[in-house]
Structure 1
């Protein structure tokens, strides 16, 4: 097990799982220039460590992330393109392109960009009583950090517009019912269930999960013919892996497979 504490993020790795904890609990982990820099450094560590199979993101204290810290002195409110281009857009793209699956465990509040950080994960878990809101409309903005892309793909046009335009606050249970997240978990069991899911994914064939992540994301913009080609090409690559051979042998021998990520 290893641990590194940045100024506003904690990074821990253990048994193939990298846990990234947003660590400004007094400010409900609201995002600053420093936190973005720390997140980039944490993702660097993930990319540099071949042993990491899964990434788990959560927040310290009573909430996941309250969104952008509007009082951050390093953030210009006169030109929002600066923080979007240098911070949020970089983060969203890196999460989408990371080969490892990302799990978000939403404890407490996830608001604004914090909500979309959680939704940008491949699998989002929320406490049943945790809350999420697209708070942008309250300050005269539209959802960013990928929000306008994520929302309609998760819940459809009407729900996406409703969440964005009203800024309504929904619970984890409501988010699960509308298909916005993967699962709502009893709040006291959230981290245990998130870690259990992370360990389950860490034991699966890593190359297959990486191909799934990219192929399913590509499906939103591909035609059926294009997507069939994506599936074919990915399947050819996976069919040449040691994990595919192990999976077949384990199936025929009626035993659990032992995947090595190769």
Structure 2
């Protein structure tokens, strides 16, 4: 949009300059045309005049669009990515046997721009669960669109310094739990649970795919949306080396 304004202003300046250069001499007197070769000094003076005219036009453009031009060189630019391609694990050691209590991952917001990102807010805009691979059987969930708190910071609004980053845990998958049954029958099993960043409550983990769309807003940058996909085949493994084949995730910037 900025370059269109600059081009339009340049064209207007050229048109005005053309009419001034062509029509004003007629009002002042007759134009004298001569085939006499010009001297080197006159040639350099003519070239200098042309550059002065271009410089004047450029100065007008800069004065009109100073803030927009400055914004092209000083801006916020985010790289948004998961901390790991595979889920990380939180383990417990019971008599020398290690088992995963949960699997999780973080999301990183790295400001690679040359100015600080002011008043950053993160929202969960949409959450959908697909039971089948053809993306037809879809359950949509109400997410509230409330700003998300940034970790231990109680405020939903933070700034991200230039060349700095913010990190948040974006999801957890909590291991299924067995509960003893006093009747002596089979133990009750609480299924694995998902906990998503910004989602109002935990949900039972089922075979299928989750798609969650987030939006990062800042007062001095454009909104940036990204989609988190998490897919699970329904089988639970107690260690990350085995689980990473069954639980996959991908982040896509929109």
Scaled by the length of structure 1, the TM-score of the pair is 0.21
The structure with the larger Rg is 2
Scaled by the length of structure 2, the TM-score of the pair is 0.21
Q: Write 1 or 2 for the structure with the bigger share of helix.
A: 1
The structure with higher relative contact order (CA 8 Å, sep 6+) is 2
